[in-house]
Amino acid sequence: MSGDFIGLLIGLILTLFIYSYVVGDNPLYRLSVHLLVGVSAAYSAVIVIRHIILPVANQIIQNPTERESLLWAIPLFFVLLLLLKRAPGLAWLSNNSVALLVGVGAAVALLGALTGTLWPQITAVAASDPGYQTIIIAILTVLTLLSFQFTGRFKKDGQWQRPVWQRGIVHIGRATLIITFGVLFVALLNTSLILLSSRLGYFLTQLQQQLP
């Protein structure tokens, strides 16, 4: 058997191991998940080392006094602080790097949500003669974003309660999220079944060609 056929066979077996979760958690499923996570982490590490760490290191070694090389001192400093997370007694120094990562990540995600989702819908609604469907989608988007507001106060009995105007928004936003996640789950399941049937059909075709 050729190497391509062996690789296809291994991929098919691991795919079936993944789908064995349908009957419950089992060792085959855990083995395939561990392999997936391990291979993905190793591949990501190799990509980072080859395309980020080594080029930056070579640039700093060859031209340590250039402006580009000196600018790398700032991220390298935060990386070193992040590595101190595993050092007893010095782990608190890494909190600055973690805070920076979380802050930048949240800002990028918020900007992406505003410019990629909310603003296009607002401009679509503001266009001439917008349809009812566009208006409804824009309103539901705004209500869903507003449902993540956690302003409120504690009552005398100690229970935390949102303002009256926010309760209805929260219910509508949660209902929108539930419906959206349900539709996405169905679409994901449908896509997964299509991919599985395609993989099985391809494997059977290759098996017929390989066997006498």
pLDDT confidence of residue 37: 92
Where are the domains positioned within the chain?
Answer: 1-71, 147-212
pLDDT confidence of residue 45: 92
Taking 70 as the pLDDT cut, the residues of the chain under it are 1-4, 121, 124-131, 150-152, 154, 210-212
pLDDT confidence of residue 211: 64
Q: Report in angstroms the alpha-carbon separations of 158 from 83, 148, 155, 163.
A: 42, 22, 5, 15
137 burial (CB, 10 Å; 0-12 / 13-18 / 19+) is middle
How many angstroms from the chain centroid is the CA of residue 17?
23
**Rg, C-alpha atoms of the chain:** 26
State the residue for tokens 């691991």: 14
Residue 198: which of 210, 187, 186, 206 has the closest Cα? 206
H helical segments located in 49-163: 54-62, 67-71, 73-83, 95-113, 119-126, 132-146
